Structure 1
Amino acid sequence: MQGSPEALAARAKDVCLRLLTDRARSRNELEQKLVQKGYPQSVIDEVLGRLADVGLVDDAAFAEQWVHSRHTYSGRGRRALATELRRKGIDEQTSTEALAQISSDDEYDRARELVRKKLVRVSPGDIADSADRERMMRRLVGMLARRGYQSSMSFAVVKSELADLGAEVDELAED
């Protein structure tokens, strides 16, 4: 990449600001984008340092916002969120602090909402025989697992919601 260090820094800052207008980003995400565009590491460190000094790059705030948004709107569980934060370059301590805002009760309630949303069109007649109940159980527990919920919590939520529908859940066994 050619140009004076000041010009390179100005262009790198513009790249970062454009990226930050879409959504908040971690320092690592911005750094990777600048590396990909060919900026020298000294320019990257300078620009990201200045953006951090003025509060535009803050991994702790990013992690808190990410966790809140993805849990509330995408229904992600803590395990999936921890993986996403790791991929975004957030360190373990910052990730743990951000994930602490989701209590076990919050996670259970969100899992219940997700299962209820899937069961809106299901009537007790749809799950009258045990094969149908088992299939429904596997599908719902699998959906929660893909979103990062623990299997024990997923099973408890699904079993409770199926029972609320009037299904016989005593014979359903946790795998």
Structure 2
Amino acid sequence: MPGDDTGRTDRLERLRAAIEAVQSGGGEPLVDELAEERLAPLTAKANRLIEQRDRSVAELRRRLTDSLDEGDDPALVEAVIDRCLRAGMLDDARFAHEWVRQRAANQRKSVAVLRRELREKGVAAPVIEEALEQVSEADQDRVLGELVTKKAGTVKTVPADRRG
């Protein structure tokens, strides 16, 4: 369509003009070097934390906020969080799903414990409930049975109310 070509041509011309302006030193810089310098330590910390394991948004926010020096702008933390979200590095649903999968299978955690842990990590209730759906009733029953058996093994005497 002719109209589409005109719009494309206009966009290309504006892009060429912007590139020429930046190259000649007259346009806005593509990167705010001062802002990038201020974000660098928090970005590096976020990368290290996420490389260790997935994090919830709230967990990463808390860790980055705790690492701010006095006088640092808290908006820096939000800028790093936003970048991580846009890059797909942070995703509460993915985090919760993986947390439940690993802890239910490897550590035999009950649904109640998993729910509490995810709440402590700052994950929203609907996301938690969706992640917990992967734990079957049979798995829940098995975990509860193991807990009862373990607890029963620690009882040394018959409770007074159970004596005949």
TM-score, scaled to structure 1: 0.62
Following TM superposition, where does structure 1 have runs of at least 4 consecutive aligned residues deviating by more than 4 angstroms?
Answer: 113-116, 131-135
Q: Distance in 2 between matches of 1:115 and 1:73?
A: 18
Q: Distance in 2 between matches of 1:47 and 1:69?
A: 27
- Measured on the aligned residues, the alpha-carbon RMSD in Å equals 2.7
Q: Which runs of 5+ in 2 are unaligned?
A: 1-32
1:13 has 2:43 as partner: yes
Contact 1:70 1:76 in 2 (8 A): yes
Letter in 2 for 1:35: T
Match of 1:24 in 2: 54
Q: Distance in 2 between matches of 1:75 and 1:59?
A: 22
Question: How far is 1:92 from its partner?
Answer: 0.6
Q: Distance in 1 between matches of 2:56 and 2:87?
A: 15
Q: How does 1:15-94 map to 2 (within 5 A)?
A: 15-38=45-68, 39-94=72-127
Letter in 2 for 1:34: L
Question: How far is 1:55 from its partner?
Answer: 1.2
TM-score, scaled to structure 2: 0.65
Question: How far is 1:4 from its partner?
Answer: 3.2
Q: What is the number of equivalent residue pairs in this alignment?
A: 125
The correspondence for 1:108, drawn from 127, 141, 155, is 141
1:37-86 deviations in Å (ceiling 9; x for gaps): 11523221121111111211111000001111111111111111111001
Question: How far is 1:110 from its partner?
Answer: 3.0
Contact 1:75 1:111 in 2 (8 A): no
Letter in 1 for 2:144: A
> Identity of counterpart residues, as a percentage?
30
Q: Distance in 2 between matches of 1:50 and 1:40?
A: 16
1:106-145 deviations in Å (ceiling 9; x for gaps): 21123335566x49xx7xxxx9xxx85669xxxxxxxxxx
Q: How does 1:122-133 map to 2 (within 5 A)?
A: 132=157
Question: How far is 1:25 from its partner?
Answer: 0.9
Bigger radius of gyration: 2
Measured at CA, do residues 17 and 47 of structure 1 come closer, stay the same or move farther in structure 2, by a change above 3 Å?
Answer: same
